[in-house]
Structure 1
Amino acid sequence: MTGAGSGAPGVVGVLGGGRMGAGIAQSFAVAGSRVTVVESGTEAAAAALERIAVSLRRAQERGHLAGASADEVLARISAAAGPEGLARDTELVVEAVPEDAGLKAGLLTRVEAVVGDSAVLATNTSSLSVTDLAAVLRRPERFLGMHFFNPVPASALIEIVVAPESTDAVVRLALGWTAALGKRDVVVKDSPGFASSRLGLALGLEAIRMVEEGVASAEAIDDAMCLGYRHPVGPLRLTDMVGLDVRLAIAEYLQVTLGERFAPPGLLREMVGRGELGRKSGRGFYEW
């Protein structure tokens, strides 16, 4: 683990106001940054702000805002209906839209045309190639991966993914911002699934195969890992929390890039086909 000891960036943009994007925006605003959340229209932008407001009120009730009020933090956050709403002096933009390489690349190129040349652009992708995304940019040296974990405000880790053209100076900035958020860093070079998604998915897929084969129930498998190996959350409950559709998409990508050991189990495909996506749909390996 490393750290650079600088403060949070003064002005931050977050592309996407879903669960991950909202959590990223909240974390930077709590650290003192002025944040603009970019969504795909005015209604989605308003919904993102409300999502953050609800989360901040809950954090305040639990005493997790370190003396600040939810209203004070929320006052630092605004929303825009497109990347053109970002300020020219934005220091960092974190992309946190769904795992679609074309969508990410298109938004990042639009952002690059709006913000200043000194801005750092980062992707929150959990598995896609940071190198490939960098290739569409005019300034690939100012781009890297900052992989946050769900739920972002409570998670302890940011995985810093370094592409071949990412400069040492940009990596140092990302490490300093990670420390300013009160989180720890793991630095990895760009490769399919990085460290966290690759290992986490391997465990999750095997757990799904065990359910499929009737080895044990989801609860028993999760209890075995929590009680026997001190995992805070079992692999199947975590799959529900991440989303079975998200895990399926990552597995399909890693199957193509790393081989058949990441082939999705039939049970995973069947559950996604039935709309059993985990917590967000109310049902997966557990009832939510």
Structure 2
Amino acid sequence: MKSRKIVIAVLMSLLVIFTAACGNGDGSSAAGESSKKVMVDGSSTVFPIMEAVAEEYSAANPEVKATIGVSGTGGGFEKFIAGETHISNASRPIKEEEKQALEEAGIEFTEFKVALDGLSVVVNKENDWVDQLTIEELNKMWSESSDVKTWADVREGWPEEEIKFFSPGADSGTFDYFDEVVLEGEQIRKDAALSEDDNVLVQGVTGTKHGIGYFGFAYYLENKDELKIVPIVNQDGKAVTPSQETIQSGEYEPLSRPLYIYVKHEALKDETVYDFAKYTLKNAGEMAEAVGYVALPDSVYKEQLKKLDEIAGK
């Protein structure tokens, strides 16, 4: 029994020595190194911009781990409210109930715009009949009360073939924006296939000749050889195709919109989070253009950088 106690004591001593050896030279543990991280989540539309930012930032700062999640705008705000993230990406403005939840949680935050997007309506590449759509036609097609089943139900002369609908999920800011602008708050039709992953929507439309879907402009550009973009009739009665020029000018309305990040004030006390947020605002325009979105005027980014410094006490 005595020898067994001696063996256990030796093993415990070795464990202590091993643990100490795993620490850093200054006495901090390996976990200390992982404290240099930035947690970001939210919109799948904003994701390509933030992913590009994170890749560039991590290349210049390899000791920092920037994690960019894709829970959708609503899902991202849930994590933001729960204290799981420092920054939340959004493809729509924050809702009143989300503001209220943050206030109740004692979380102060600031909204920053990072780019412009044109919500893009797409059909299958083999679709040779849809040349344009109005907002009224989109409402007629997508609303829960719709009696549209085939393309012929939308416009006379179009084929009597059943339409397959592909939409972002309910946690998506793109879904919310479409609901507000196109459906005017009405529920989306029940037979629409929903997904938080825009790549799934792309696959749905490309794999279905009579399919239609919508998502951010960057996802269209990434898959433009496999999809057909649909011009949308604006308030002036002109059918406009989304492009960097028509999105920035506002001609592609009402489906042009800003994209946002929301930053926690408390998180900016962490120099790593502050530095990442600053890097984001400095480079968001360039990164947005690189992945297919539209940059804001330089003056907007400069003004927001000044606001960031004020919040951080710099």
Q: TM-score, normalised by structure 1?
A: 0.29
Q: TM-score, normalised by structure 2?
A: 0.27
Compare CA radii of gyration and give the structure with the larger one: 2
Structure with the higher fraction of residues in strand conformation: 2
Structure with the higher fraction of residues in helix conformation: 1
